[in-house]
Structure 1
Amino acid sequence: MQARSDVAGERLFTFAIIADTHVTEEEAAAIGGYDIDTVRLGAGRSRYVVHEINRLKPDFVIHLGDITHPEPGTPAYEDSANRFHRVHDELDCPLYLVPGNHDIGEKAFPGEPLPDQHAQHTVNEAMIAEYEKHFQAQYFSFEHEDCLFIAINGMIVNSALACEAEQRAWLEGLLEANRGRRIFVFSHYPAYLSDPAETEHYDATDEPGRSWLVCLLDRYGVEAFFSGHVHNFFFNRCGDTHCYVLPSTCFLRHDYHELFKVAPGMKQGRHDTAKLGYGLVEVHASGHLHHTIRSHGRTLEPDAELPPATHVLPRVHGLAPDRRGVGLYLRQPWCDSADIPTPWGLDAFRRKRIRNDYPLLALWEMGVRDLRVPLDDLADPATRSRMVDLASLGHRFTAYSYGLPKGAARQVLVDHGAVLAAWEVIAPSTSLAGLLPGLAELRGETPVLFNASRVFAESFSSSHGLQAEERGAVEALLALDGARNVIDGMVFGAARDESPARVVEVARRSVEGLGVTATVHVQFAHRKLLDEAETAWTDANRVAEAVVAALAHDDVTMMLDNFTGIDRGYYFSGGLVDRVYNPLDGARIVRHLHAALGEGCAITAIQDGAAARVIMMAGSSGEAALVLPAAGHERAMAAEDLSGLRGRCIDLRSGDETSEVAAGPALVLTEPD
């Protein structure tokens, strides 16, 4: 079956997904013995999400389980179920429930010598009956807009209960009867988190059930498989099936903070509220987009209402059709793994190595598709596998090497170069003539970009390319024997003291009519530790200007070098995300500009004043202006006074409408006639 990797056509409908609400009885001292905050905040966090979902107006909502925290058979189970219903009855659309291990009992560990205390918590017929009394059927299906939605009970897989065989026969028959249709499957337990061959552990489906489930997803071309349980975000491509693991609305599983190289804080990471949220799925005529909506742990009290909505921009996604905008240099490892110290099940007796997917989430929610990585990433088998999956979905990777790769790296380029959108070769300009024969031999069908190394440059990588105005250098390099048959593009640099918008325009002229493309690397790193507030201000303006320049020139690739900041070593830089991959102002600026100007724009003027730099634009919806307040200019000013335009003013750090421009970049959009 052809992979549904491309999203195309009109949006047919949307549905929301929530997971792991863990509603508990009001008298509970703590959830799982950790902290009273989770009890105090849990229902309020759920209520906030319910009302925010109502604003989004999805066709329906699916809950992926761990509806309550107390398990069946405990005195608090009924009270917690009633408390859950009081909150979620406020939804304005149908709600479908998938059982979780807290709702219906723990998964079985067949063949393992478990203590009686553990066995008492394992799913059984009595627990299932109590769940179905308070909630819904343990497995079921429904149809919507000619799509089939299937909810299964992941806890009974491998259980040897009679209902396991019944569910298995029902699911196999249902899939066979609907072969060829668009199918979405939901379970509390993921099939796996990083690799179908990963060690069995508490947070995934064990064998033989895992292979059975994965085989069904592949055989019947299931479009997407959604799960919860882990309280963290993960994504895998299993054959043609997109497999998502959703965050919790209530609390973070803080054993997974081991994924990050910094101390967790936030009560050992349990209240890393930027990672709490829910999913919104847009189903298109072909394919779908899954958005993770961060709720940030916000709460809503009974009978209260959400504050008026001030966020006016649409959602973006790195895999959206016709995605344009800036790309990012992934300096730090972006899909590395860590051993997760989960204390439950049998995990304490095994290694549990899991990949960190939060960098991918950050890229998707910024709407970033183009990525720059070292050729080493293609050489590493695990990272290469991830690149293959993401490239098949629409991500475009540029891999760079210094000079010609040697040995194993050379063979990797020969064998796997087709994964790449481009191969960037860094070398002194004086070396290019000697490199051309080797480049011709290795390039295959992969476009080659030349990045002139300037070792005297005061830059982090010492390889930010030609200066924008060096058309003569471009002509000289292309005049070398065989160069025009090998070189497809030139890399230019925008130093920290240069305007990205002006650099892009000059770089375009430097390659105009020469048959090569221009790529611009926008530098943020610096050698000298600067004032933190001034750096944040300058970087925010620089990010905003670079994004606008990229959107105005879709024939130029723009790469920012500050996805993650540098807070140690010999260089310094702010980042778009922090060290646990939560979005900072830079990430929000990228996302909001991609949302507001996603159809592109044309820069008509750049005006530098004492109070602000203003970049004037024209687009399909009218005129716009990017307002970049000058550093140290703290007095708020009306957007109209700065830009000369009357219309909506959007604070690009928050995405909210505002009447004044103060301490950060803003976008003014004229209202259509």
Structure 2
Amino acid sequence: MPNKPNHTPSFDLTLLPPAQQQFTILSDTHYMLDCGDAPLEFASRRKQSQRAGAALHLAAQLDSDFTVHLGDLIQEYPDTPDFEAALDKALHQLEASGLKPQLVAGNHDVGDKADPTMPSHPVTAEILAQYHRRFGPSWYSFSNGPSHYIILNTQIMNTPLGVEQRAWLETELQKHDAKRLFVFLHLPPYLWDPAEPHLGHYDNLGQPDRTWLLQLLSLHRVERLFAGHVHFAFCDRLGSLQYTIVPSTSFTRPGFGHLFTSAPAPEQGRDDAPKLGFYLCRVFDDRSDLHLIRTAGETDFTATQLITRTPAALQGAALALTLTHPLCPTAEVPLAWPSVIRQRVRNDYPLLAVQEIGATSVRVPWTDIEDTLQRERLQYLRGAGIAVQAFVPFDDALDLHHLLDHYPDCADRWEVQTAGEPMPDTTCLDLLADCSRRTPLSLSTIVPGERIAGKQHPRTRLGFRLQELATLNELLTDRELILESALCRIDAEDDPWTTVQRFTALPPLSHIRRVDWLLTLPSRDDNAHARLAAEALFATALLPDTQLYVDPILDLDRTMDIAHGVLDGLCNPRPIFHALRCLNTLLYAHRKAWVPEEREEKGVRILVLRSKEHVLELLLPEEPVGWTSASQRIYDLAAGTVAVDTDKVLIAGPSLVYS
């Protein structure tokens, strides 16, 4: 492994489970020569070399067994006058970072795919030979422990130059069929599905080699396939093959901004900096986990970033989400350069965010189970360790058996919502008793007519109130019916910490196995949301096996009630996202029988969880305040960073002190 810089580590991985091995994947760094004062089409081009350098230095500080660069080291093309000069400087930048990555050949490194509509020349035998002389073969493999890793050159597929590689890959996969297999490309095989058109499509691999490759990888049970080129993140699953398209560290691509309902990101969508970053992959006996390292276009990293667990390593954690928006919106990128056809694409950012935040469950309307695309993407989440709870309003005509018959094993739990009145009537109780033999059931409620200050029209309440739970339990007791869960709401004006403690003081609910909680974000105050959600999640540590469902997942900006979500309209994280992501892992890693306390210090409200061995203190400042952290760890939750044994830190949002 490369030597690491001798300063404060840039990453804290102490809360992660031990892995067999780990490796880093980055892509499309696009070093660009300094053009001085010359006019540029996009101002962010002046930043991309610095962004790339910072990301490379950051990646070098991860304790990885190896790194793979998925191609496009430079901005120039092989047929441009400055190609060699740019490549020299890019390699110098790479060497200065301390990284020695395995390299994949990209279109900026060797030339475009074999398609006469592409913006630059296809690979020639001369350019390919030059690349091989400088870097070695553009298709090769290596082993590390129980896994085997294969690098391919997609730019020569579907050409005579790719014949040797094709024969080599078939032999290589056969030879290492008993190992866990990982494959790395530059061009993605596809964006929407394996049958999408390729001629005129800038972002996929052509035929017939696309079909040949995917069938071959499936035949040999390849575990993961990584590709770059697109500068956006996408993902899919083909059988057991997990397919990931890795974002760029340097800039995003215009065109894909049509995936979002908000206004475009800066520079026509080319400078959507929060989406920039790279991946850390950690390999275990039974799975491999991906962690997105967000660089967000920054060029100076001084704080230590907390790397948090994936849902597969958080089973039993409380954090969950209600999907107010579809998990998988879709769009067609218009016919615009560099493609000459429309490109059908999914917006995978909500799905990726659900995994990154560490949610272990999502609530969705039953219509998502009926919708083919949404159902498929929900099954993707289930494969990643995220349970699906489908909710459906009750009326006398509800045929839940029909849903269970038509969509078997498509949801982990079904939630029936009483409508109009909170308590279930006899017909509803009959349905619950009948269907509870087939599937775990949850109960919630839809109650219109709630008066809200400042609103012209009454609003609709979702979820039970605390004081209604005892009556519900009595009804269930009379019917000798035990529910998996009931959903109780935390109102915006309520104090989650106090609400949960009031719940723990209630008599036991004999016929409700657990109570889950609904938290709806009430405003456009990001700091207030981060404090509210952190308090609610912290409070759930007092309850075994509960779930806290937070919504909206995305901003509501054109509805009767507007509010910021966990993600903004471009599907980029708001402060609450990182606050929940970090606190969820911290609470899971320090699971104890806690005793709650509360105090105030320096004008800051402090919630405390105390056990015999540990103390967790949640600081909820409304204004920035200095805090001493000697012999303690202070986690700035919204920033996703940690300070250890420093004299003083500035606390500007919800923070956790561990001692």
Would you call these one fold, judging by a TM-score over 0.5?
yes
How do 1:111-126 and structure 2 match up within 5 A? 114=116, 121-126=121-126
User: Within 2, Cα distance between the matches of 1:167 and 1:628?
Assistant: 58
What letter matches 2:196 in structure 1? E
User: Within 2, Cα distance between the matches of 1:407 and 1:466?
Assistant: 21
Partner of 1:16: 24
Match of 2:42 among 30, 35, 44: 35
Give the direction of change, closer, same or farther, for the CA distance of 1:42–1:409 in structure 2 (3 Å limit).
farther
Partner of 1:523: 519
User: Within 2, Cα distance between the matches of 1:597 and 1:400?
Assistant: 28
Runs of 5+ consecutive residues of structure 2 not aligned to the other structure:
1-15, 453-457
Partner of 2:464: 466
Partner of 1:240: 240
Partner of 2:13: none
Q: Is the 8 A contact 2:351 2:381 kept in 1?
A: no
Partner of 1:314: 307
TM-score (norm 1): 0.87
What letter matches 2:299 in structure 1? T
1:222 equivalent in alignment to 2:222: yes
Q: Is the 8 A contact 1:101 1:107 kept in 2?
A: yes
Match of 2:633 among 626, 629, 648: 648
Shift of 1:536: 3.4
User: Within 1, Cα distance between the matches of 2:401 and 2:38?
Assistant: 56
User: Within 2, Cα distance between the matches of 1:384 and 1:406?
Assistant: 23
User: Within 2, Cα distance between the matches of 1:567 and 1:433?
Assistant: 40
Match of 2:442 among 449, 453, 471: 449
1:627 equivalent in alignment to 2:625: no
Deviation per residue, 1:314-355 (Å, 9 max, x gap): 33223335361310111012211011136346x433x32110
What letter matches 1:157 in structure 2? M
Q: Is the 8 A contact 1:468 1:510 kept in 2?
A: no
Q: Provide the aligned length of Structure 1 versus Structure 2.
A: 629
Shift of 1:105: 1.4
Give the direction of change, closer, same or farther, for the CA distance of 1:626–1:271 in structure 2 (3 Å limit).
same
Q: Is the 8 A contact 2:485 2:516 kept in 1?
A: no
Partner of 1:4: none
Shift of 1:93: 4.6
Q: Which moved more, 1:180-189 or 1:613-622?
A: 613-622
Give the direction of change, closer, same or farther, for the CA distance of 1:577–1:515 in structure 2 (3 Å limit).
same
User: Within 1, Cα distance between the matches of 2:405 and 2:388?
Assistant: 16
SS of residue matched to 2:596: strand
Partner of 2:417: 426
1:669 equivalent in alignment to 2:655: no
What letter matches 1:256 in structure 2? F
Give the direction of change, closer, same or farther, for the CA distance of 1:480–1:353 in structure 2 (3 Å limit).
farther
Match of 2:359 among 352, 362, 368: 368
Partner of 2:581: 591
Q: Is the 8 A contact 1:186 1:227 kept in 2?
A: yes
User: Within 2, Cα distance between the matches of 1:603 and 1:562?
Assistant: 29
1:70 equivalent in alignment to 2:76: yes
Deviation per residue, 1:395-436 (Å, 9 max, x gap): 111111111596999744422242212111111345432123
Identical counterparts, % of pairs: 29
Root-mean-square deviation (CA, aligned residues, Å) is: 2.8
Shift of 1:554: 3.4
Partner of 2:177: 179
Give the direction of change, closer, same or farther, for the CA distance of 1:405–1:150 in structure 2 (3 Å limit).
farther
User: Within 1, Cα distance between the matches of 2:592 and 2:555?
Assistant: 29
What letter matches 2:620 in structure 1? L
What letter matches 1:34 in structure 2? E
TM-score (norm 2): 0.88
Deviation per residue, 1:446-501 (Å, 9 max, x gap): 211111332233589734322224343122320354634xx322111111122223
Deviation per residue, 1:210-251 (Å, 9 max, x gap): 221111121111110000010001111111111110011111
What letter matches 1:240 in structure 2? S
User: Within 1, Cα distance between the matches of 2:552 and 2:226?
Assistant: 32
How do 1:144-155 and structure 2 match up within 5 A? 144-155=144-155
Shift of 1:259: 0.6
Q: Which moved more, 1:509-518 or 1:237-246?
A: 509-518
Match of 2:192 among 191, 194, 199: 194
Partner of 2:4: none
Partner of 2:142: 142
Partner of 1:3: none
Partner of 2:324: 331
Q: Which moved more, 1:424-433 or 1:253-262?
A: 424-433
Match of 2:405 among 384, 392, 414: 414
What letter matches 2:564 in structure 1? G
Give the direction of change, closer, same or farther, for the CA distance of 1:213–1:458 in structure 2 (3 Å limit).
farther
Partner of 1:581: 571
User: Within 1, Cα distance between the matches of 2:19 and 2:364?
Assistant: 33
Give the direction of change, closer, same or farther, for the CA distance of 1:129–1:368 in structure 2 (3 Å limit).
same
1:168 equivalent in alignment to 2:166: yes
Give the direction of change, closer, same or farther, for the CA distance of 1:99–1:425 in structure 2 (3 Å limit).
same
1:615 equivalent in alignment to 2:613: no
How do 1:84-123 and structure 2 match up within 5 A? 84-109=90-115, 114=116, 121-123=121-123
Partner of 1:205: 205
Q: Is the 8 A contact 2:450 2:459 kept in 1?
A: no
User: Within 1, Cα distance between the matches of 2:107 and 2:427?
Assistant: 63
What letter matches 2:411 in structure 1? L
Partner of 1:503: 499
1:26 equivalent in alignment to 2:24: no
Match of 1:544 among 505, 516, 534: 534
User: Within 1, Cα distance between the matches of 2:172 and 2:194?
Assistant: 24
Partner of 2:50: 44
Q: Is the 8 A contact 1:404 1:425 kept in 2?
A: no
Partner of 2:560: 570
1:553 equivalent in alignment to 2:543: yes
Give the direction of change, closer, same or farther, for the CA distance of 1:510–1:198 in structure 2 (3 Å limit).
farther
Deviation per residue, 1:557-614 (Å, 9 max, x gap): 2111232232232113232221111111101111121232222244422425493332
Deviation per residue, 1:509-566 (Å, 9 max, x gap): 658351423333333344xxx6x5xx43432221111121234423212111232232
What letter matches 1:375 in structure 2? W
SS of residue matched to 1:523: strand
Q: Is the 8 A contact 2:320 2:548 kept in 1?
A: yes
What letter matches 1:338 in structure 2? A
User: Within 2, Cα distance between the matches of 1:19 and 1:30?
Assistant: 27
SS of residue matched to 2:225: strand
Shift of 1:364: 2.1
User: Within 2, Cα distance between the matches of 1:639 and 1:606?
Assistant: 20
User: Within 2, Cα distance between the matches of 1:135 and 1:452?
Assistant: 63
What letter matches 2:143 in structure 1? E
1:399 equivalent in alignment to 2:390: yes
Shift of 1:119: 9.1
Q: Is the 8 A contact 1:399 1:420 kept in 2?
A: yes
Stretches of 4+ moved more than 6 A in 1?
Answer: 28-31, 405-410
What letter matches 1:35 in structure 2? F
Give the direction of change, closer, same or farther, for the CA distance of 1:637–1:133 in structure 2 (3 Å limit).
closer
User: Within 1, Cα distance between the matches of 2:444 and 2:181?
Assistant: 46
SS of residue matched to 2:98: coil
Runs of 5+ consecutive residues of structure 1 not aligned to the other structure:
1-7, 301-305
Q: Is the 8 A contact 1:637 1:661 kept in 2?
A: yes
What letter matches 2:279 in structure 1? G
